Structure 1
């Protein structure tokens, strides 16, 4: 009986140690970066390698040729093999140099690829194999940001970190702002960003929850976001807002600037389920005006 109890305590201690180790090491192992240049390396590649080094992760650098960056996804989707074909014979300098660059700055395994299709199908095909996609907002012309990047984010469903135009610095995870309003998209974004939020010293959760008109008919009670974060070792400071929908994006960005956040986490919304390519008001405003990296998920 005593041996059984000791064994149970030993297992419990082991599980506790494993849980502590998992919390200490963020779990974001596969990072995809869509690149626009190799000399110098795109900001997306530098950011992806930085995150991979922090999370003991792997990184895929995928170069998007200029001729494909303004293209909509009207053509037939390619196969995953055509996107990840070994192209050493085609671009030996970039492939070898990227592996050296990634290894030198602490990433685990690295892969170099060149896409042969538009941004949205590339994000959809390769994103399914990765935990997050890093993309520069100015990978496309300003007037096509919502059409092309919006199409990619809404169709791939993979979390994305969108870097602001002309970004050339490191992404700071010391201060993070989470915009949450109780929607499925904002909850998925919060959950997917946990490995990065765990790196932060200061976390602010903007709570703009919009309750359904018949709240008493909701069939399940959801967790409180502050309590949920606390269960993951994150002490978040709540900030409640009640603003009109057309003011939400501006209010979110103002709070991010006020707290000197290095990253904003939020859901990516569409106006309707029928026309998912049309981004909602708050998403559109933040994407157009943010001067800090945004972690978004639809």
Structure 2
């Protein structure tokens, strides 16, 4: 793989399963593991009761910083006992700035790994996803629960909708797909028109991938009025996929990033198999 730096974000209160998976991933690929330990601060009290609650707010911040420091020390200890090349940094920031913090670190990584155990307390997980997908060029790899993060899947499902986001995801995953036994280009309710998926949906991307020496099968699925995300997840299980590759759709509303419907549903919970996502 061409990944030389993997960014992994963790938070106070998280277990070590994802950290150990990140170490194993970097050991298998020879990549450097850069760990960001992040906590988000509660907003400062405002209004007529601010003076009353400010003491409690300050105490909460002190507890947050103590928990952050303890997590940094623990992560450093675990990494020190491993043989992986690594560095550890930390940040304690306001929620509105959290995605920018992640994006700034991810600019210098080839991959952002998001563990299944990353909590969403104070929107930590959401901020990590938004920062990785919308504020950095790095692809995001979502790890499944209770499963090692493998980078040699035999079968890959490429979720395809002829969008720019899907095209970027396919390019980021070229090396993975070349090494796989089979790639299932999957379209749900494809629109066979010139302005959408073309007269033969999936044919163009299949030809593109085949020229890279990739063994491609095109699957055209009907949703049957089920959510597209549910159809994609079920299809991945049906074909025994070891990874899902997809583009992430979203747009900005002032400072808030809004995920598109399918993207939101796919990212809502940790996936059943590793999922590589690009914006």
TM over 0.5, shorter chain:
yes
Q: From 96, 102, 109, give the equivalent of 1:123.
A: 102
Paired position in structure 2 for 1:53: 27
- Within 5 Å, give how 1:88-237 maps onto structure 2: 94-95=75-76, 97-101=78-82, 103=83, 107=84, 109-117=85-93, 119-141=98-120, 144=123, 147-152=126-131, 153-164=133-144, 167-172=145-150, 173-208=153-188, 210=191, 214=195, 224-237=204-217
The alignment status of 1:64 with 2:38, answered yes or no, reads yes
Q: CA deviation at 1:286?
A: 1.5
Cα pair distance change 1:136/1:92, threshold 3 Å: closer
Q: CA deviation at 1:246?
A: 6.9
- The 2-side partners of 1:130 and 1:148 are apart by 17
Q: From 208, 211, 218, give the equivalent of 1:238.
A: 218
What secondary structure, in the 3-state scheme, does the structure 1 residue paired with 2:147 have?
Answer: coil
What secondary structure, in the 3-state scheme, does the structure 2 residue paired with 1:123 have?
Answer: helix
- The 2-side partners of 1:146 and 1:140 are apart by 6
Paired position in structure 2 for 1:256: 236
Alignment deviations for residues 195-250 of structure 1 (CA, whole Å, 9 cap, x no partner) = 333443332111355577657xxxxxx99222322333321221123548973212
- Whether the 8 Å contact between 1:29 and 1:56 is mirrored in structure 2 is yes
- Whether the 8 Å contact between 1:98 and 1:112 is mirrored in structure 2 is no
Q: From 19, 33, 38, give the equivalent of 2:8.
A: 33
- The 2-side partners of 1:53 and 1:235 are apart by 28
Cα pair distance change 1:273/1:213, threshold 3 Å: farther
- The 1-side partners of 2:41 and 2:164 are apart by 30
What secondary structure, in the 3-state scheme, does the structure 1 residue paired with 2:169 have?
Answer: helix
Q: CA deviation at 1:175?
A: 2.5
- The 1-side partners of 2:155 and 2:74 are apart by 37
Cα pair distance change 1:138/1:197, threshold 3 Å: same
- The 2-side partners of 1:194 and 1:61 are apart by 26
Root mean square deviation, CA, Å: 3.5
What secondary structure, in the 3-state scheme, does the structure 2 residue paired with 1:53 have?
Answer: helix
Paired position in structure 2 for 1:278: 258
Q: CA deviation at 1:125?
A: 0.6
Cα pair distance change 1:91/1:269, threshold 3 Å: closer
Paired position in structure 1 for 2:47: none
Greater CA drift, 200-209 or 254-263: 200-209
- Whether the 8 Å contact between 1:127 and 1:156 is mirrored in structure 2 is yes
Number of corresponding residues: 239
